[in-house]
C-alpha cells in the first residue's frame, strides 16, 4: 500500500510541474531550476536586516554608588544602549569632563572597527561575544590590547555588572567594576 501511495505522489508531482511549465511555455528543467533558486531570493533581502536581540538589548545607565574604580576617579556618566541589530552605543563622560561616544557593531567573535563619534579614541577595534547573560570583549587600539571586558546580567535582568581590566600607561593594571541598571522593561524591548 505504501509503495502505491509514494508512486502516486511522485507521478502527481510530475504532472503538476509539467502542466504548470507547459502553461507558460517553459521546459520542466527550467521550471525546476527556477524553483530551486526561489529560496535564495526569499532569504537574500533579510541578510542585511539581521536581528541580534539578546538579554542585553535595551538601555543601561551607570550607577556611581555601586561601581568601583582602581585606580579612580569614577566616571561622571555612562549610558550603554544595545539595539536590536546588535550595535552597542556607548555614551561616556569621564571624571575630567571629556566625552566618548562610540558604536560597536555586532561582532560575534570577529574583530570589528569601533566607530568613534566623539572623543579622542582613534584606531580602536574590538572582539565581542554575547552568550546568554554574559558579554566578553577585548578592545584594541592601534593593534595592542587596551582592555578586557566581562559583563553579566543579574538573574532578574535589571542589573548589569561589567568588570574591566587593562594595562595602565605608566605600568601596572587598572581594574574597574562598573554597575548599570536597566532603564526599560526587560520584556518590552
Domain ranges (residues) in the chain:
2-49, 58-182
Summarised one tens digit per residue, pLDDT across range 132-150 is 999 999 999 999 999 999 9
How would you classify residue 162: left for phi > 0, otherwise alpha for psi between -120 and 50, otherwise beta?
beta
Asked if residue 83 has pLDDT above 70, the reply is yes
Bigger pLDDT: 60 or 52? Answer: 60
Cell of 69: 574604580
Q: How far apart are CA 178 and CA 67, in angstroms?
A: 5
pLDDT at 108: 86
Over residues 58-78, the pLDDT tens digits come to 999 999 999 999 998 999 999
pLDDT of residue 94: 95
pLDDT of residue 46: 41
Q: Which fold has domain 58-182?
A: Lipocalin (2.40.128)
User: Where is 135: in which H helix or E strand?
Assistant: strand 134-141
> If we measure between CA atoms, which residue out of 139, 155, 159, 20 comes closest to residue 90?
139
Q: Out of 39-53, 65-79, 113-127, which region has the weakest mean confidence (pLDDT)?
A: 39-53
Amino acid at each position: 500500500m505504501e509503495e502505491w501511495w509514494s508512486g502516486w505522489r511522485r507521478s502527481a508531482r510530475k504532472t503538476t510541474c509539467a502542466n504548470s511549465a507547459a502553461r507558460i511555455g517553459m521546459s520542466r528543467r527550467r521550471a525546476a531550476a527556477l524553483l530551486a533558486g526561489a529560496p535564495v531570493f526569499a532569504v537574500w533581502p533579510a541578510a542585511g536586516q539581521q536581528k541580534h536581540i539578546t538579554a542585553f538589548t535595551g538601555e543601561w545607565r551607570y550607577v556611581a554608588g555601586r561601581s568601583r574604580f582602581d585606580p579612580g576617579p569614577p566616571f561622571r556618566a555612562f549610558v550603554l544602549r544595545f539595539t536590536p541589530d546588535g550595535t552597542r552605543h556607548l555614551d561616556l563622560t569621564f571624571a575630567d569632563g571629556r566625552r566618548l561616544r562610540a558604536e560597536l557593531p555586532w561582532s560575534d567573535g570577529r574583530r570589528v572597527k569601533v566607530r568613534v563619534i566623539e572623543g579622542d579614541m582613534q584606531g580602536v577595534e574590538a572582539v565581542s561575544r554575547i552568550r546568554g547573560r554574559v558579554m566578553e570583549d577585548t578592545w584594541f587600539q592601534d593593534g595592542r590590547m587596551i582592555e578586557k571586558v566581562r559583563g553579566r546580567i543579574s538573574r532578574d535582568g535589571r542589573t548589569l555588572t561589567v568588570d574591566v581590566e587593562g594595562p595602565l600607561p605608566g605600568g601596572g593594571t587598572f581594574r574597574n567594576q562598573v554597575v548599570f541598571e536597566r532603564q526599560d522593561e526587560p520584556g518590552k524591548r
